[in-house]
Amino acid sequence: MLARKKKQPILKTAEEIEQLRRAARLVSNTFAVLKEHVRPGVSTAFLDRLAETFIRDHGAIPAFKGYQPDPDVVPFPGTLCTSVNEAVVHGVPSEEVLLKEGDIVSLDCGVILDGFVGDSAYTFAVGEIAPEVQRLLDVTKESLYRAIAQVKRGARLGDVSFAVQHYVESHGYSVVRELVGHGLGRSLHEPPEVPNFGKRGHGPLLAEGLVICIEPMINLGRAEVVRGKDGWTILTRDRKPSAHFEHTVALGPNGADVLTTFDPIETGASLQPQTAL
């Protein structure tokens, strides 16, 4: 999301976190379906239709479709944000965008299930990709887990942000400054903002019941970005590749509780259960 004014986070009850977990599992299961179709020759519009059908068949609605953060912005037309190569985030699905061998594509998916939102993103490799691009993906994903490790009682939001920045910059990559993670609940974007850069020991204290989306957006080249002609897609100014991974994380009594999962994508694990409360 684009950075906005700061507000107080909306802390969740244990019951609300379980509702959010169900929505998060549906997003993860959607990725499990999509991974089988991320291959050369497939259009991003096809992936979008596949995701929407799966989400609606499971009793939910796409959270992104029709999303309009400001009255002067055209509502987002897709179920997925499909961001290819130099597209950082918010890529609009299109019949004209066909995946090619060596591409990377960030698929960002949100659902609304029984009034609660699930949100996650994963950058997929299309066939064999260049070693330097694979390294970008690996470092970006690892920075996400290093940030998650900072989600604990007594920590500050700056600890989470610093973990991403320090790790990726130590590997020579740059952090997008104009885009941030966010809180999540009954709304897609809730406070607090979760930047991917910051100072340890700074920012608000993390409290039990906090639910946030941590989403490193990391560029192979320079940090600067521009908005595409469609009004949505954010692109690297130097047109070098960008990677994007996102988990929804709650702060529970035992520390970080990751509500989304990449297991169905990476290990071939069976779809995650979405049991009723």
Q: What is the pLDDT along the chain (277 residues), one digit of tens a residue?
A: 555 556 789 999 999 999 999 999 999 999 999 999 999 999 999 999 999 999 999 999 999 999 998 888 899 999 999 999 999 999 999 999 999 999 999 999 999 999 999 999 999 999 999 999 999 999 999 999 999 999 999 999 999 999 999 999 999 999 999 999 999 999 999 999 999 999 999 999 999 999 999 999 999 999 999 999 999 999 999 999 999 999 999 999 999 999 999 999 998 776 656 544 4
CB atoms within 10 A of CB 217: 29
Domain count, the chain: 1
- Does residue 251 belong to any structural domain of this protein? yes
- Which CATH number belongs to the domain containing residue 248 in this structure? 3.90.230.10
- Does residue 271 belong to any structural domain of this protein? no
pTM for the full predicted model: 0.95
Q: Which domain holds residue 236?
A: 14-68+76-266
Q: Are 20 and 250 in contact (CB under 8 A)?
A: yes
- Does residue 273 belong to any structural domain of this protein? no
- Does residue 4 belong to any structural domain of this protein? no
| Sign of the four-CA dihedral 178, 183, 184, 186 | negative
Q: Are 186 and 58 in contact (CB under 8 A)?
A: no
- Does residue 166 belong to any structural domain of this protein? yes
- Does residue 149 belong to any structural domain of this protein? yes
Q: Are 198 and 165 in contact (CB under 8 A)?
A: yes
- Does residue 9 belong to any structural domain of this protein? no
- Does residue 95 belong to any structural domain of this protein? yes
